[in-house]
Amino acid sequence: MLPIVNTVREQREARGMTQSELGAEIAMTRQTIAAIEQRRYSPSLESAFRLARFFNMGIEHLFRWDE
């Protein structure tokens, strides 16, 4: 597991969205969304900003380093 923790799943589920729906909104595949949520993939900085902007929050509130 990667050291970057995120709340993407919680944010997505709070909006009643599927991984596919979220991916379509921000130009990512469902598989990429799933991998980010499962901490198997760290998104690029651009993708992280895209997610944070979609959820209307600062990137530091969506992602954090878990030491």
Q: What would the two tokens of residue 48 be?
A: 């992280």
Encode burial over 14-51: b for 16+ CB neighbours within 10 A, e otherwise: eeebebeebbeeeebeeebbbbbbeeebebeeebbebb
Q: Tens digit of pLDDT for each residue in 20-66? A: 999 999 999 999 999 999 999 999 999 999 999 999 999 999 999 98
Q: What pTM, to 2 d.p., does this model score?
A: 0.92
- Report the DSSP pairing between strands 4-6 and 63-65: antiparallel
CATH number for the 4-57 domain, one of 3.40.30.10, 3.40.640.10, 1.10.260.40, 3.40.50.9100?
1.10.260.40
pLDDT at 2: 84
Residue with token string 């921000």: 26
Domain ranges in the chain are 4-57
